[in-house]
Amino acid sequence: MRLADVGTRDAQRFATSIEELDRVLGGGLVIGSVVLLGGEPGIGKSTLVLQALAATRTADRRALLVTGEESAAQVRTRADRLGRACGHVEVLAETRLEAVVGALESDPPAVCAIDSVQTLWSEDIDGTPGSVTQVRAAAAELVRLAKRTGTALVVVGQVTKEGSLAGPRLLEHLVDCVLTFEGDATGSYRVLRATKNRFGSTNETGILEMTEQGLRSVDDPSALFLGDLAGRVGACAFPAIEGSRVLVVEIQALVSPSHAESPRRQAVGVDRARLAQIVAVLARHGGIRLGDHDIFVSVAGGARALDPAADLAIALAIAGAHKRTPVDPPAAVFGELDLTGAVRAVGHFERRAHAVSGAGIDVAIGPESNGAPSVPAQWGAVVNIAGALETAFPR
């Protein structure tokens, strides 16, 4: 068949009513799709899927939770604690793959969650539950079942101590969407990201807060990631593009003399390779030599700044930490640094500028080649790293 003769139709979705989850999924769960949700133990995966099932269940749309890690009574306890309309969610406490498949085929629900795929085992496959052969067989059978019955399937996956999804990489290739649920289990905020999505963007990020009543969407994520920058050494604001929105995050840097033979370069939330390049540009074109210093750079709150537009903010944060001088006045900074020390234009210029103004920051420093934005009121246009250093640290 020629591609010109193939019919097309938009993927049919239904929203989960969890705004941040729907944002990351691209608008909601797609009928017949398979979503793999991974995260560390205790991060809130089971809570998230139970809330999603309760929200998607309607009078004519059944929702089923297959639990292999907890008993039905334990799930009921969680549902009572959430205080939501979870009572109509059906539950099946089963780990045998044949029994799960039989239940889904006999009366297919509209949406089903498997918690977790590592607990499923087939009597026809050698190996213990959680082994590579068992996980591969279970995942392949569940994907075929979802495509055949039209059930939207959410599969919870365990992660290794390194943070990657446990089991074979084939698991990620089989499913339509791979979500990672991140955050400090002892804290209240969680970050939901898509590393694969056949029905939407992989650039979206969802921010949720764990409360006594379960997970709730955070309406203003920039307030979470951005602190008061006034008088703070080694801190810069950066407007990061996250899919359809802009998050103003805080980039922090610490520079100290090294007592080791090889100074450390540690990066959290930024690209370590770009960090090394930025340090080299600062030395060659900015006159700041840090070869005998340890450098630590991170993005506050567990956010990420992988966009090349973060180069200038990282550079000024490092320079401020080295000079022990804050950016004066506090400013949002964005611009890409090239190897010649020039500050290159960035994409989504006006969107970044408006997000900075919306975050209550009156000063911004960025590439002259982008022109002057309509907001904020004070705009520092720079051509190269030397000019950026003079603008950020006038004294």
pLDDT at 161 over 80: no
Domain that holds residue 126: 3-219
Q: Which of 131, 180, 137 is nearest to 156 (CA)?
A: 180
**Count of domains in the chain?**
2
pLDDT at 243 over 60: yes
Structure-block tokens of residue 106: 């006999």
How much is the pLDDT for 392? 94
pLDDT at 71 over 90: yes
Percent above pLDDT 70 for the chain: 96
Instruction: Tell which of 219, 238, 273 closes a domain.
Output: 219
Q: What is the pLDDT of residues 173-219, one digit of tens each?
A: 899 999 999 887 677 889 999 999 999 888 888 999 999 889 999 98
> Residue range 123-150: average pLDDT?
91
Tell me: do 200 and 237 sit in the same domain: no
Averaged confidence pLDDT in the chain? 91
Structure-block tokens of residue 217: 């969407």
Tell me: do 145 and 238 sit in the same domain: no
Q: What is the pLDDT of residues 262-275, one digit of tens each?
A: 999 999 999 999 99
Tell me: do 192 and 228 sit in the same domain: no
Q: Which of 362, 330, 368 is nearest to 349 (CA)?
A: 368
How much is the pLDDT for 8? 66
Band the pLDDT of 228: cuts 50, 70, 90: confident
Tell me: do 211 and 274 sit in the same domain: no
Three-state SS sequence of 3-59:
HHHCCCCCCCEECCCCHHHHHHHCCCEECCCEEEEEECCCCCHHHHHHHHHHHHCEC
CATH of the domain at 100: 3.40.50.300
Lowest mean pLDDT among 7-21, 73-87, 114-128: 7-21
Percent above pLDDT 90 for the chain: 69
Taking the model in full, what pTM does it have? 0.83
Q: How far is CA 320 from CA 238, 313, 314, 389, in A?
A: 15, 10, 10, 9
Band the pLDDT of 244: cuts 50, 70, 90: confident
CATH of the domain at 297: 3.30.230.10
How much is the pLDDT for 382? 96
How much is the pLDDT for 249? 94
How much is the pLDDT for 105? 95
Q: What is the pLDDT of residues 307-326, one digit of tens each?
A: 999 999 999 999 999 999 99
- E strand segments, 187-234: 189-197, 205-211, 214-217
Judge whether 217 and 17 are in contact, CB under 8 Å: no
Tell me: do 144 and 201 sit in the same domain: yes
Tell me: do 265 and 209 sit in the same domain: no
Tell me: do 204 and 256 sit in the same domain: no
Tell me: do 184 and 325 sit in the same domain: no
Q: What is the pLDDT of residues 371-394, one digit of tens each?
A: 999 888 799 999 999 999 999 998
Instruction: Tell which of 195, 219, 243 closes a domain.
Output: 219
Peptide bond into 330 cis (omega under 30): no
How much is the pLDDT for 186? 72
Tell me: do 155 and 58 sit in the same domain: yes
Band the pLDDT of 337: cuts 50, 70, 90: very high
What is the end-to-end Cα distance of the chain in Å, rounded?
70
Q: What is the pLDDT of residues 342-358, one digit of tens each?
A: 999 999 999 999 999 99
Tell me: do 215 and 78 sit in the same domain: yes
pLDDT at 170 over 80: no
Tell me: do 274 and 388 sit in the same domain: yes
Tell me: do 163 and 197 sit in the same domain: yes
pLDDT at 9 over 70: no
**Phi, psi angles (nearest 5°) of residue 66:** -100, 115
Instruction: Tell which of 202, 219, 236 closes a domain.
Output: 219
pLDDT at 166 over 70: no
